[in-house]
């Protein structure tokens, strides 16, 4: 475990299973993690090992069978759903293997969407989105639709969208898994630059050995436990 006092997320003794009786499948068996501001932690493991499941529990998307997840000092699974939703929206950012941008909106509008849903004005949200697009090297692509941009550009826009509400930690599930080598490197470099410049924490589930080895810490999920 990380002994830094500036923890942004802590998961302790997480257990998660699906099904029952003949279909019962135990996925996570007592896994835990601590992540500090500005730290990038990678999680590796074979397909089906439970990396995505663990990220979903840490990201307040799926409840554990038992165990605790704290974002800052708040045990997120001990509060009501309304409070959890606020924590999920304001303190956590998400990047997935597929960008999940909405095709009918421009990149700038896609990045601004979480901010508008959080109650900020359209103008403020769009201004923040423009600043973030510039930060990820897309200042000239904000008015383009996803179909008019490359895969790497779409994924960089997805990174910007994850940061729009200045979350404490970003959870990234195979963020370069759908990109070629050149674009993978661009997205990897971007995450490391953001971690350094913004003290942004990332938990990254990945099959990429190169990305895993670049992380400040690399953990392996085996038999439901992180090592």
Is 121 inside a domain boundary? yes
- Is residue 149 within 8 A of residue 107, CB to CB? The reply is yes
Mean pLDDT of 196-201: 91
Is 73 inside a domain boundary? yes
- The answer to whether residue 2 scores a pLDDT higher than 90 is no
Instruction: Return the number of other C-beta atoms located less than 10 Å from residue 71's C-beta.
Output: 24
Range of the domain at 194: 7-226
Share of the chain above pLDDT 70, in %: 97
pLDDT higher at 110 or 176: 110
- The answer to whether residue 5 scores a pLDDT higher than 70 is no
Domain count, the chain: 1
Beta bridge partners of 40: 202
**What CATH number is associated with residue 60?**
3.40.50.300
Is 1 inside a domain boundary? no
**Of 86-90, 96-100, 141-145, 147-151, minimum mean pLDDT range:** 96-100
- The answer to whether residue 99 scores a pLDDT higher than 90 is no
pLDDT one-digit tens code per residue, 12-60: 999 999 887 767 788 899 999 999 999 999 999 888 888 999 999 999 9
Is 26 inside a domain boundary? yes
- The answer to whether residue 1 scores a pLDDT higher than 50 is no
Average pLDDT over the chain, rounded to whole?
90
In this prediction, residue 218 carries a pLDDT of 94
- Is residue 208 within 8 A of residue 197, CB to CB? The reply is no
pLDDT one-digit tens code per residue, 203-215: 999 988 888 999 9
Is 155 inside a domain boundary? yes
- The answer to whether residue 3 scores a pLDDT higher than 50 is no
Please name which of 43, 42, 17 lies closest in space to residue 30, comparing C-alpha atoms: 17
pLDDT one-digit tens code per residue, 142-187: 999 999 999 889 989 999 999 999 999 999 998 888 888 888 898 8
- The answer to whether residue 4 scores a pLDDT higher than 70 is no
Is 2 inside a domain boundary? no
- Residue 88, token pair as written in the block: 């999920």
DSSP string over the chain: ----S-EEEEEEEEEEEE--GGG-EEEEEEEEEEEETT-EEEEE--TTSSHHHHHHHHTTSS--SEEEEEETTEEGGGS-HHHHHHHHHHHEEEE-SS----TTS-HHHHHHHHHHHTT--HHHHHHHHHHHHHHTT-TT-TTS-GGGS-HHHHHHHHHHHHHTT--SEEEEESTTTTS-HHHHHHHHHHHHHHHHHH--EEEEE-S-HHHHHHSSEEEEEETTEE-
pTM as predicted: 0.89
In this prediction, residue 90 carries a pLDDT of 87
């Amino acid at each position: 475990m990380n002994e830094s006092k500036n923890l942004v997320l802590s998961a302790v003794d997480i257990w998660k299973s699906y099904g029952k009786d003949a279909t019962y499948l135990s996925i996570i068996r007592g896994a835990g993690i601590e992540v500090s501001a500005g730290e990038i932690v990678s999680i590796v493991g074979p397909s089906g090992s439970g990396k995505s499941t663990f990220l979903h529990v840490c990201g307040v998307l799926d409840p554990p069978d038992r165990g605790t997840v704290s974002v800052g000092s708040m045990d997120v699974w001990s509060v009501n759903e309304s409070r959890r939703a606020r924590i999920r929206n304001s303190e956590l950012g998400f990047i997935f293997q597929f960008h999940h941008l909405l095709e009918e909106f421009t990149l700038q509008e896609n990045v601004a969407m979480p901010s508008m849903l959080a109650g900020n004005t359209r103008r403020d949200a769009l201004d923040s989105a423009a600043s973030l697009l510039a930060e990820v090297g897309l200042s000239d692509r904000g008015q383009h639709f996803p179909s008019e941009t490359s895969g790497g550009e779409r994924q960089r826009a997805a990174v910007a969208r994850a940061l729009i509400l200045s979350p404490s930690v970003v959870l990234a599930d195979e963020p370069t898994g759908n990109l070629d080598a050149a674009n993978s490197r661009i997205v990897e470099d971007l995450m490391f630059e953001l971690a350094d410049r913004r003290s942004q924490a990332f938990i990254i589930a990945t099959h990429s050995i190169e990305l895993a080895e670049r992380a400040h810490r690399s953990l392996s999920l085996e038999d439901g436990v992180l090592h």
